[in-house]
Chain A
Amino acid sequence: MTVQQSDLKLDGNAIAGLLREIFTMEMTTAESTCAGCHKVHAVGQVEVYMNAPGVVVRCPACGQVQMRIVKGGGRYWLDLTGIRSLEFSA
């Protein structure tokens, strides 16, 4: 099975506004350690799929889902289980 790159794929810059709603901080410079492959990437560099019922963030190295964000019905649902650790300035 081969995977087509580039379809509808953006990067963390595309969800900077959404992340700012949730974290109340600028998050694209935060560094995320993938729970799967343990590689570290700036959130601005992660793969983002937004044309979906929610936002799906994937590790640019291994493709594993790092975050899922759903906003609807007056609520957010945030799954960060694909991130081992998120580091950002105090």
Chain B
Amino acid sequence: MARTAVLGRLNWQLGNVAELVQETPRVASLVFDVPAWPGHLAGQHVDVRLTADDGYQAERSYSIASAPEDPRLAITVERLDDGEVSPYLVGEVRKGDKIELRGPIGGYFVWRGGDDRPLLLVAGGSGIVPLMAMIRHRTAGKSTTATKLLYSSRSEDDIIYKAELDALAAVGDGLTVAHCLTRTQPPGWRGYARRIDRAMLEEVAWPKAQNPIIFVCGPTPMVEAVAGHLVDMGFDAASIKTERFGPTGG
């Protein structure tokens, strides 16, 4: 059974916004300096809390995008038009602003690395974020863990971290990346052009016998469909870790 760590009280801290990176038209990364950040594992998240001057508060969770080895903490946020928090984080926040956050949080959906098992990562939309922390951790540790990423986006312009993923895949150290674009594809597109389905997973996934660790992250319907297919394909349910993203503003 997996280990849990006694960690004590989680306190709110202030992160200083050191950099803003526009990843796609609707997605940006916020890079923080957090004094006394205790470190984190790839896959964990932070809770962010915003307070208006009349005392109104809103809290949301965001996966950490940066590798544990990175001295700065990054989150990547998709701006939702009818959102309450995301239009503030992606649009209003400036370098030098401070944001209240607490973490790192999570223990189930984490990849530490350091074992022999190959990795299968399946991402839908902003579900790529915690998986990117895993990929960055793999790179920072100079690991050669055999890793396959299957990443579903609406269009090529919506692929988050595209340049970085292309560069990492080109290194040839055991990371392969397969994209699927579900709504529109650029001319000459040779990747997948439909929602992730069983046939696609059969083509991309590791053979069962390789005993991969599998992480699936994205909107609930996608995660459940993919996890269902993987179980039907014979992967051990205990090897499949899932994290569902969705609206939490009440």
The interface bits of chain A over 51-79 (1 if a CB of B lies within 8 angstroms of the residue's CB, else 0) are 11000000000000000000000000000
Within the complex, what minimum Cβ distance (angstroms) separates A81 from chain B? 23
Does any Cβ of A come within 8 Å of B136's Cβ? no
Give bound CA distance, A89 to B6, whole Å.
9
On chain B, the residues within 8 Å of A12 by CB distance are 108
Does any Cβ of A come within 8 Å of B2's Cβ? yes
Give bound CA distance, A13 to B127, whole Å.
13
Does any Cβ of B come within 8 Å of A35's Cβ? no
Does any Cβ of B come within 8 Å of A80's Cβ? no
The interface bits of chain A over 1-24 (1 if a CB of B lies within 8 angstroms of the residue's CB, else 0) are 000011011111110110011001
Does any Cβ of A come within 8 Å of B107's Cβ? yes
Does any Cβ of A come within 8 Å of B243's Cβ? yes
Q: Which of A17, A24, A44 contacts B108 (CB 8 A)?
A: A44
User: Are B250 and A51 touching (Cβ within 8 A)?
Assistant: yes
Using A17-B47, A26-B5, A29-B2 as known contacts, say yes or no to A10 and B246 having CB atoms under 8 A apart.
yes
On chain A, the residues within 8 Å of B242 by CB distance are 11, 45
Q: Which of A6, A21, A29 contacts B4 (CB 8 A)?
A: A29
On chain B, the residues within 8 Å of A50 by CB distance are 248, 250
The interface bits of chain B over 35-51 (1 if a CB of A lies within 8 angstroms of the residue's CB, else 0) are 00000000001010000
User: Are B108 and A29 touching (Cβ within 8 A)?
Assistant: yes
Closest residue to B7 on the A side, CB-wise? A26
Using A6-B224, A16-B107, A17-B61 as known contacts, say yes or no to A51 and B4 having CB atoms under 8 A apart.
no
On chain B, the residues within 8 Å of A16 by CB distance are 45, 61, 105-108
Give bound CA distance, A31 to B211, whole Å.
22
Closest residue to B6 on the A side, CB-wise? A25
Give bound CA distance, A41 to B185, whole Å.
39
On chain A, the residues within 8 Å of B247 by CB distance are 8, 51
Within the complex, what minimum Cβ distance (angstroms) separates A35 from chain B? 20
Does any Cβ of A come within 8 Å of B199's Cβ? no
Within the complex, what minimum Cβ distance (angstroms) separates B78 from chain A? 16
User: Are B105 and A89 touching (Cβ within 8 A)?
Assistant: no
User: Are A11 and B3 touching (Cβ within 8 A)?
Assistant: no
User: Are B102 and A29 touching (Cβ within 8 A)?
Assistant: no
Does any Cβ of B come within 8 Å of A83's Cβ? no
User: Are B3 and A17 touching (Cβ within 8 A)?
Assistant: no
On chain A, the residues within 8 Å of B8 by CB distance are 24
User: Are A43 and B108 touching (Cβ within 8 A)?
Assistant: yes
Chain A to chain B contacts (Cβ below 8 Å), 23 pairs: A6-B220, A9-B244, A9-B246, A10-B220, A10-B248, A12-B108, A13-B108, A14-B248, A20-B105, A24-B7, A26-B4, A26-B7, A26-B105, A27-B4, A42-B108, A44-B243, A45-B242, A51-B247, A51-B248, A52-B250, A89-B1, A89-B4, A89-B5
- Chain A residues in contact with chain B, CB under 8 A? 5-6, 8-14, 16-17, 20-21, 24-31, 42-45, 50-52, 87-89
The 3 A-B residue pairs with the shortest CB-CB distance, nearest first, are A44-B108, A28-B108, A26-B107
